[in-house]
Structure 1
Amino acid sequence: MASVVDLGATPPCESFLAADQLDLPEPAYPLHLRVCTDCWLAQIPPLISPRETFTQYAYFSSYSTSWVEHARAFVDEAARRVGLGPGAFVVEVASNDGYLLRHVVERGVRCLGIEPSVNVGAAAREAGVPTRTEFLSEESGAAVRAEHGPAGLVVANNVYAHIPDVVGFTRGLRALVADDGWVSVEVQHLLTLIEENQYDTIYHEHFQYYTVASAMRALASGGLTLVDVELLPTHGGSVRLWARPAEAAGEPAGSVADVLAREKAAGLRELSGYAEFSARVAKVRRDLLAFLIGAAERGQSVVGYGAPGKGSTLLNHCGIRPDLLAYTVDRNPYKHGRFTPGTRIPVLPPDRLAADRPDYVLVLPWNLRAELTEQLSFVHEWGGRLVFPIPELSIVEVAR
């Protein structure tokens, strides 16, 4: 194993604190990304179990308008590729609050969500999406198949990196899918993480950081073969991996070889591809702190927008506290009145922005730049500006 970047120690990124917890100890865990020089899978140690993180969860996918639209477009694409007729059955693993499967329900297609978090799974059922509360394993996948039959399509979006037992989880996917079915996996692409300084997407919920090459090996461990790849802009750069049971896979599309070649050219199967990343991460930290300190010395107000998991990594790594960032706002009412992990920055409702009219708004979910620039267009009314910290510090006037 070789070091890629050491971000110190941080609390779990979604462990938002209630007011009565502020005087209690708060655990923090090392956050050190390393890469295996054999299989070239980048990873952090599984210091926190998924059961600690996902039994009650603070992230509800439906609060992102663009993410719900992304899910709708995916369902349309899946219907074209796989066929989602009256007899189809779709299973989504880590289905959250039903943001994706609601589009399947609207088509009249039978579906089931498998979601370990009790609170978000309950929200999905309230929205009319059948949801089973449990973690996927080979055994639970076989149990679902025995009860509901095999799925023609199994979806695992933004969960593959969250699993310490990759082999067991992949075997669970294979247990769910029909012998001639399809599995779709979306996961952040290590290539763009490295190229675009997206280090704040490294946090304890993400145990692995995949290239297509390392994902192929992981899928094969459970009997699945990669047959196609799509490059997506989501989360700053993701890959959609289309896989099938090995016996039904056939020849892969040319896109697989194309992306593998891009990864090799970037040096991600040798140490040279990772050599400068840590230095570029340090520059992001220095630039953001210099901006915040300068604004404070000038008497200018800076608040945040959003309280995503990536924000926790950024705030903790930079050592940002309420003296530099007075508060952040978020659309998710679950987080209102709570405080960010480690840095204890208050999380307030979005209407505080218009009430306080800050000079700058630091956008923590920078991956939603287009959506949030539009949502925050009202900031121009008092001359406020938006600040994006990744891939490099960017201060922008909001279009009038």
Structure 2
Amino acid sequence: MTHCPCCQSSDFEPVVSLPNMPVVINALSDDAASARAVPRGDVELVVCRSCGLVYNAVFDDARMAYVPDYENALHHSPSFKVFADGLVSDLVQAHDLYGKRVVEVGCGDGFVLSRFLDAGVGEAIGFDPSMEGRDSPFARPNMRIVPHYFSTDEVDGPIDAVVCRHVLEHLAEPRKLLSDLRRQIGDRDMVVYIEVPNAEWMLQTVSVWDVIYEHVSYWTQPAIEMLLRRTGFQPYRIRQGYSGQFIMVEARPADVDPDYVSNGVDEALRRARSFGSEAALRIADWRTRLKDRCGRAVLWGAGSKGVTFANALGDCGGVVAMVDLNPRKHGRCASGAAIPIVHPDKLSEIQPDLVLVSNGLYEAEIRDRLASLGLAPELWVITGNPGPAQGSVGRA
């Protein structure tokens, strides 16, 4: 990839390398052998000096396939449900979406769509290729999920709001999606809500475990604002949420501003350089901490952070299982690392001495669950600080 996915600049510098990572880290495998045999690829993170976007310069879009075994839902966590309900309620009230039509690009199994309907939206339509051959557990009479990539050809009549959560980071050409959307909106006025992982949180906390092959790009606030303005959207509210781990943008259609340059790029560059120098030390430190310890360890959270941690560290640490609340993951194996994924109740049999918490935001609920099982293992938080699910909110 010779040009920045955001601004098309070829002026970039290296940040960090993670070789031989699973290409689709959120895919589930039936057994250890198939988990070890998954396709792998290199991650060569660079930062664009023009817009502050961090991206994988050797990403190969042809290798990506979001099949039905792909699973990255967060809604099994009580903390995420609180966040999602607050987000939906805020959008519906602020933009008077009662009885109106909402389209979600990259809707997953429809959880957030169902929350919009519960909050008073009249009709919800979602697009997601990973839903091919799957039924949504959140199905409603006035909800429809189209199991392929977004197209307004599938929507008859007006659209009152577009939601696009955690999609742009997966696209080699995010400008194309937003430009197509802007062209199809035309003269209509509507809210467009964009949500992406917050790269600045990742850089500041040195959460190298958030680096996955599936993510082409890691969005800083300057980069996401530049992309939106250059594709014809006016961001008027930019917040951080989920304890700072997400960037949340509300925008409206506007004139394309092809030469727009954001403030804050220099700070993004500074953080990216610091992250690059610290990431290798962070991996080495965790290997040292886990290498000589005795007893059984489990890793709580079989999502991107947990699976990347397991792959980056290899066999050290004696991790015998990964724990997750998502029932679709139980009895399966984590991509690449081939560690079995279990229900929390299985910990009564495993009797772990150590629980590695992949995301500190969930530490309180994990402690409560362990206490309910009569277990009191040591807890080590891999990344992030505990805090309320709503996170900090502020205007740009």
Normalised TM-score (structure 1): 0.82
Matched, 1:223 2:232: yes
What code does the residue aligned with 2:122 have? V
Q: Distance in 2 between matches of 1:242 and 1:337?
A: 39
1:303 is aligned to 298
Matched, 1:165 2:173: yes
User: 1:232, CA displacement in angstroms?
Assistant: 1.1
The range that moved more, 365-374 or 301-310, is 365-374
Matched, 1:5 2:16: yes
Matched, 1:36 2:31: no
- Paired residues in the alignment total 366
What is the correspondence of 1:246-257 to structure 2 with a 5 Å cutoff? 246=254
**CA shift digits 1:17-61 (9 cap, x unpaired):** 222744974321001211122332211133244851355422234
Matched, 1:130 2:144: yes
Q: Distance in 2 between matches of 1:311 and 1:317?
A: 10
**CA shift digits 1:273-300 (9 cap, x unpaired):** 322213322232223222222322xxx2
What is the correspondence of 1:234-245 to structure 2 with a 5 Å cutoff? 234=243, 237-245=245-253
What is the correspondence of 1:354-369 to structure 2 with a 5 Å cutoff? 354-369=348-363
Q: Distance in 1 between matches of 2:68 and 2:179?
A: 22
Matched, 1:376 2:370: yes
User: Which residue, 89, 94, 114 being the options, matches 2:127?
Assistant: 114
The range that moved more, 276-285 or 200-209, is 276-285
Q: Give the conservation status (yes or no) of the 8 Å contact 2:29–2:35.
A: no
User: 1:306, CA displacement in angstroms?
Assistant: 2.0
User: 1:176, CA displacement in angstroms?
Assistant: 5.7
Q: Distance in 2 between matches of 1:4 and 1:209?
A: 12
The range that moved more, 201-210 or 338-347, is 338-347
**CA shift digits 1:195-225 (9 cap, x unpaired):** 1112211112211111121112222343212
2:4 is aligned to none
Q: Using a 3 Å threshold, how does the CA distance of structure 1 residues 67 and 212 change in structure 2: closer, same or farther?
A: same
**CA shift digits 1:109-154 (9 cap, x unpaired):** 2221112212596225645532111112xxx23x13xx42232211
User: Which residue, 94, 98, 103 being the options, matches 2:110?
Assistant: 98
Matched, 1:179 2:196: no
Q: Using a 3 Å threshold, how does the CA distance of structure 1 residues 175 and 100 change in structure 2: closer, same or farther?
A: farther
User: 1:333, CA displacement in angstroms?
Assistant: 2.7
What code does the residue aligned with 1:118 have? M
RMSD of the alignment, in Å? Answer: 2.8
What is the correspondence of 1:276-355 to structure 2 with a 5 Å cutoff? 276-296=274-294, 300-320=295-315, 324-355=318-349
User: Which residue, 64, 82, 85 being the options, matches 2:77?
Assistant: 64
Q: Give the conservation status (yes or no) of the 8 Å contact 1:150–1:176.
A: no
**1:151 match: secondary structure:** coil
User: Which residue, 177, 199, 207 being the options, matches 2:208?
Assistant: 199
**1:38 match: secondary structure:** coil
Q: Using a 3 Å threshold, how does the CA distance of structure 1 residues 102 and 120 change in structure 2: closer, same or farther?
A: farther
**1:326 match: secondary structure:** strand
**1:105 match: secondary structure:** helix
Q: Give the conservation status (yes or no) of the 8 Å contact 1:170–1:221.
A: no
Identical-pair percentage: 23
What code does the residue aligned with 1:377 have? A
Q: Distance in 1 between matches of 2:97 and 2:127?
A: 19
Q: Distance in 1 between matches of 2:195 and 2:218?
A: 12
Q: Distance in 2 between matches of 1:23 and 1:376?
A: 28
Normalised TM-score (structure 2): 0.83
1:154 is aligned to 162
**CA shift digits 1:39-85 (9 cap, x unpaired):** 32211133244851355422234322222222211111012211113
**2:267 match: secondary structure:** coil
The range that moved more, 90-99 or 311-320, is 311-320
**2:292 match: secondary structure:** helix
Q: Using a 3 Å threshold, how does the CA distance of structure 1 residues 243 and 295 change in structure 2: closer, same or farther?
A: same
Q: Distance in 2 between matches of 1:58 and 1:23?
A: 14
Q: Distance in 1 between matches of 2:115 and 2:36?
A: 43
What code does the residue aligned with 1:115 have? D
Q: Distance in 1 between matches of 2:376 and 2:325?
A: 23
1:398 is aligned to none
**1:185 match: secondary structure:** strand
Matched, 1:267 2:267: yes
**2:352 match: secondary structure:** coil
Q: Give the conservation status (yes or no) of the 8 Å contact 1:306–1:329.
A: yes
Q: Distance in 1 between matches of 2:340 and 2:231?
A: 43
**2:334 match: secondary structure:** coil
Q: Give the conservation status (yes or no) of the 8 Å contact 1:18–1:339.
A: yes
Higher relative contact order (CA 8 A, sep 6+): 2
